[in-house]
């Protein structure tokens, strides 16, 4: 997988984001082609057998790239659109070359791996046409949505396969996607989080993910969202976001526990906890959330942790972590679905950490 990803980077198919590999999207292969370019080389039967129609006059070869599983966009991720959004954006652009790629297709080009593929392709040009609401657009999956472009919109050309294809910059894509989330024209299922609306939860998940796959800052997002999102509302969303969250589930975990610590204590994301007294760097865990003052760590266990070998290693690491005086709570999808139970487990861990705090303080100052 590493060799494949390194080659994809050399080919210009991977955005330069700060997050780990699982937080980025790789531009797919093969690429769409105009049907006219295949004239004389294929029969109608071979075209039907070897290609899929993306839009009128544009086909996608059916042979898939040998892409590692973690980077593949599955058909079920695409809703009624059936194909990933970058392949669709390429196809629609081929027939509308002067236009600019915006909204969720632009976010995908900037590396966002989630939520984009069941959204319509939005082309920015000289006029508006079509329905940008995802649940309606999927009924006409081969047709893009056209919106009038803002004058002097800034663009980049991130597609090495189509070097003249223009995409709005990452901060503008972020503003456009936040606008669509708050307006309700696109979304995904989220659980109930106390004190937040579902649209706000989606916005925070989106911001966290964009901070992982791009090098955007909060000020960049503010500039990109100008005239699209109310400034006060955006400030609140940015205050709830965290550039350290490395998955949408980690974002949910942080939102659930954001107010449960006593005054004076705070959560920090992606905290390295050394398991070895000598501090050997390869013997460590990275807590998704931690309160270092309380030596309390929270971990979200995704699919990677379900393998038997990984579960055994996790068990031993947590045992060593507790031996070092830390409280730890592991959360997986099943526990997160039982929100009351999850919050009870975390609350109990906080109480134990608070009770142990005076003892640790005395030991730290040598009063045993």
DSSP 15: -
Q: Tokens at residue 259, please? A: 């107010």
Q: What is the pLDDT of residue 104?
A: 99
Q: What is the pLDDT of residue 266?
A: 96
Interval 117-153: pLDDT, tens: 999 999 999 999 999 999 999 999 999 999 999 888 9
Helix axis angle, 198-213 to 248-257, nearest 10° = 130
Q: What is the pLDDT of residue 358?
A: 74
Q: What is the pLDDT of residue 43?
A: 87
**Residues sharing a CB contact under 8 Å with residue 273, sequence separation 6 or more, in sequence order:** 284, 285, 286, 287, 290, 297, 321, 324, 326
Interval 66-82: pLDDT, tens: 889 889 999 999 999 98
Could you give the CA distance from residue 89 to residue 100 in angstroms, rounded to a whole number? 10
> Is pLDDT above 80 for 305?
no
> Is pLDDT above 80 for 267?
yes
Could you give the CA distance from residue 181 to residue 201 in angstroms, rounded to a whole number? 10
Q: What is the pLDDT of residue 363?
A: 54
Could you give the CA distance from residue 143 to residue 137 in angstroms, rounded to a whole number? 8
Decide if 321 contacts 299 (C-beta within 8 A): no
Residue 175 — pLDDT band, cuts 50, 70, 90? very high
Q: Tokens at residue 183, please? A: 């307006």
> Is pLDDT above 70 for 310?
no
Mean pLDDT of 284-303: 90
Could you give the CA distance from residue 81 to residue 93 in angstroms, rounded to a whole number? 16
Mean pLDDT of 175-191: 98
Could you give the CA distance from residue 63 to residue 50 in angstroms, rounded to a whole number? 7
Q: What is the pLDDT of residue 45?
A: 92
> Is pLDDT above 50 for 368?
no
Mean pLDDT of 285-292: 94
Q: Which one, of 132, 223, 248, 235, lies nearest residue 173 by Cα?
A: 223
Could you give the CA distance from residue 69 to residue 196 in angstroms, rounded to a whole number? 34
Torsion of CA 131, 134, 136, 140, to 10 degrees: 80
Q: How many CB atoms sit inside 10 A of residue 215's CB? A: 13
Q: What is the pLDDT of residue 230?
A: 98
Domains of the chain (ranges, CATH numbers): 7-240 (no CATH), 260-364 (3.40.960)
What is the DSSP pairing of strand 145-148 with strand 51-55? unpaired
Could you give the CA distance from residue 137 to residue 118 in angstroms, rounded to a whole number? 9
Of the candidate ranges 28-32, 60-64, 84-88, 113-117, the one whose mean pLDDT is the lowest: 60-64
Mean pLDDT of 248-255: 97
């Amino acid at each position: 997988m590493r060799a494949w990803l390194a080659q994809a980077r050399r080919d210009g198919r991977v955005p330069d984001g700060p997050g780990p590999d699982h937080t980025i999207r790789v531009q797919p292969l093969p690429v769409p082609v105009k049907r006219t370019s295949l004239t004389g080389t294929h029969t109608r039967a071979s075209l039907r057998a070897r290609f899929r129609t993306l839009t009128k006059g544009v086909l996608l070869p059916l042979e898939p790239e040998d892409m590692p599983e973690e980077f593949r966009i599955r058909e079920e991720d695409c809703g009624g659109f059936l194909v990933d959004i970058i392949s669709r954006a390429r196809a629609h652009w081929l027939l509308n070359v002067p236009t600019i790629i915006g909204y969720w297709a632009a976010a995908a080009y900037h590396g966002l791996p989630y939520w984009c593929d069941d959204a319509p392709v939005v082309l920015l040009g000289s006029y508006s046409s079509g329905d940008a609401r995802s649940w309606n657009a999927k009924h006409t999956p081969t047709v893009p949505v056209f919106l009038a472009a803002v004058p002097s919109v800034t663009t980049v050309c991130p597609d090495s396969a189509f070097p003249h294809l223009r995409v709005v910059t990452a901060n503008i894509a972020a503003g456009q996607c936040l606008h669509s989330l708050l307006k309700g024209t696109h979304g995904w299922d989220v659980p109930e989080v106390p004190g937040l609306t579902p649209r706000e939860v989606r916005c925070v998940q989106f911001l966290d993910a964009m901070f992982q796959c791009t090098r955007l800052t909060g000020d960049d997002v503010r500039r990109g969202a100008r005239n699209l999102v109310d400034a006060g509302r955006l400030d609140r969303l940015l205050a709830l976001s965290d550039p350290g969250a490395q998955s949408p589930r980690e974002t949910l975990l942080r939102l659930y526990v954001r107010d449960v610590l006593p005054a004076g204590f705070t959560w920090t994301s992606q905290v390295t906890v050394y398991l070895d007294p000598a501090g050997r760097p390869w013997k460590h865990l990275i807590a998704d959330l931690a309160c270092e003052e309380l030596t309390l760590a929270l971990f979200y266990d995704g699919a990677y942790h379900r393998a038997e070998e990984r579960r055994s290693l996790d068990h031993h690491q947590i045992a060593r972590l507790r031996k070092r005086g830390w409280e730890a709570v592991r959360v997986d999808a099943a526990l997160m679905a039982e929100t009351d139970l999850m919050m009870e487990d975390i609350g109990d861990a906080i109480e134990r950490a608070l009770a142990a705090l005076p003892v640790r303080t005395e030991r730290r100052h040598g009063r045993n």
